[in-house]
Amino acid sequence: MGAITVNYARIKNPALKKAIKEEVVETLFDVSTGHNHDGTNSKTLSSVAVVENDSVTTAKIVAGAVTTLKIADDAVITAKIAADAITATEIADNAVVTAGILNANVTADKLASDAVTTDKILNLNVTKAKIAADAIDGTKLADNAVNSEHITAGAIDTAHIDNLQVTTDKLALDAVTGAQIADAAVDSDHIAVGAIDSTHFSAGAVDATAVGTNAVITAKIADDAVTADKLAADAVVTASIVNLNVTADKLAADAVTTAKILAANVTAAKLEAGAQPLTTAIADPAHEGAIAVTNTGYVPIVQTGAAQTRTLAVPTFAGQMLLIDSKTYADDTVITVASAINQAGNTTITINAAGDYCLLVGIENGGAKAWRVVASDGVTLSTP
């Protein structure tokens, strides 16, 4: 530091000028006892100018006298600063570094709006509790960041799904029920081959318009399902009828006309009682057998051994005719009739030789039926 020069011309007050010159400058900077402040010619200060160490107490300092220039660098230590003495205006921009902040003392109120940027947040430290409701929208999510484990059950409703975004792969098995399908939405293109079985049809769902031409084959028709009202007029042709299945019950009255009967196919058995001719053969019942009296006809007796017998019941109807003849003869055959066969009261007919015969006709006798002999040859009529 060089010597101090006082420009007295700039001091307008004479008393002040004199005081400075005589009492300050000349006393403090006396060349013999003072200090010339030239850095090299320091002298021993006078007792007046010397301030003893630790002698300037707080009481000696005028309020406001210690200005910035009076304070040495790094002189203001922590102990010199009063509590709450440093306000925002005392802190220079960018002066508070990390080490100057007590742990856990930067509270929410100390942070300016938008002050916490991405690089200020430690990885994995934004927990659920730090995220406001509805704060995360689509712009905050990375592509493919949300998978199934991050989605709460039932959280995705219709409003969250973009149009045309539910593809086949997104649907679980059996997820699409009837309630999810719009009316008339399923056409033939959507139905797999063979997918519709009987359980999918509601009662009465298949009407005539739904059945294709020739689609109803035999296997599709249930037993006894084709009733009379299902058959169109003249629908049943000959080829449709199984052989031997047109029974008497199926024929209407007077339905069988002459043209319907094959030539030579009306046998005696087909004629009702009384209408059959004598040409209808009635089997010989053999020894001790009963001759059938159901219809008109002839009985050829075959006798090949010792004497034999037959029995004959009363006729079935008046006008019935029965021809008994000896076809084969070896010995006599005695036929016992249930009632008299003539006015004489005979009840037995004995065949005595081959060729013998007896022609009988049925009559009504009072309330009963009986046989009467119309003609006979060779036989013996008798009463036992």
Task: Give me the pLDDT at residue 48, please.
Answer: 54
pLDDT tens-digit map of 320-352? 999 999 999 999 999 999 999 999 999 999 999
pLDDT over 90 at 53, yes or no: no
pLDDT tens-digit map of 307-320? 999 999 999 999 99
Select from 105, 125, 159 the last residue of a domain: 105
Give the pLDDT band of residue 284 (cuts 50, 70, 90).
very high
Distances from the Cα of 130 to the Cαs of 125, 126, 137, 141, 194, in angstroms? 9, 6, 15, 16, 56
Q: Does residue 364 lie within any of the structural domains?
A: yes
Give the pLDDT band of residue 224 (cuts 50, 70, 90).
confident
CA torsion sign for 255, 259, 260, 264 is positive
Task: Give me the pLDDT at residue 377, please.
Answer: 98
Q: Between 263 and 39, name the one with better pLDDT.
A: 263
Task: Give me the pLDDT at residue 36, please.
Answer: 54
CATH code, domain with 327: 2.60.120
pLDDT over 80 at 2, yes or no: no
Give the pLDDT band of residue 196 (cuts 50, 70, 90).
confident
Q: What is the mean pLDDT of residues 1-30?
A: 75
Distances from the Cα of 244 to the Cαs of 241, 264, 272, in angstroms? 8, 19, 21
Select from 105, 120, 142 the last residue of a domain: 105
Q: Does residue 30 lie within any of the structural domains?
A: yes
Give the pLDDT band of residue 298 (cuts 50, 70, 90).
very high
Q: Between 49 and 358, name the one with better pLDDT.
A: 358
Domain enclosing residue 320, as ranges: 269-382
pLDDT over 80 at 264, yes or no: no
Task: Give me the pLDDT at residue 88, please.
Answer: 84
pLDDT tens-digit map of 80-137? 889 988 888 888 888 888 898 899 998 989 889 998 898 988 999 989 889 898 888 7
Q: What is the mean pLDDT of residues 161-169?
A: 89
**Distance of alpha carbon 173 from alpha carbon 155, whole angstroms:** 20
Select from 41, 70, 105 the last residue of a domain: 105
- For residue 311, the number of C-alpha atoms closer than 13 Å in the C-beta half-sphere is 7
Mean confidence (pLDDT) of the chain = 85
Count of structural domains within the chain = 2
pLDDT over 90 at 43, yes or no: no
Per DSSP bridges, beta strands 380-382 and 289-291 are unpaired
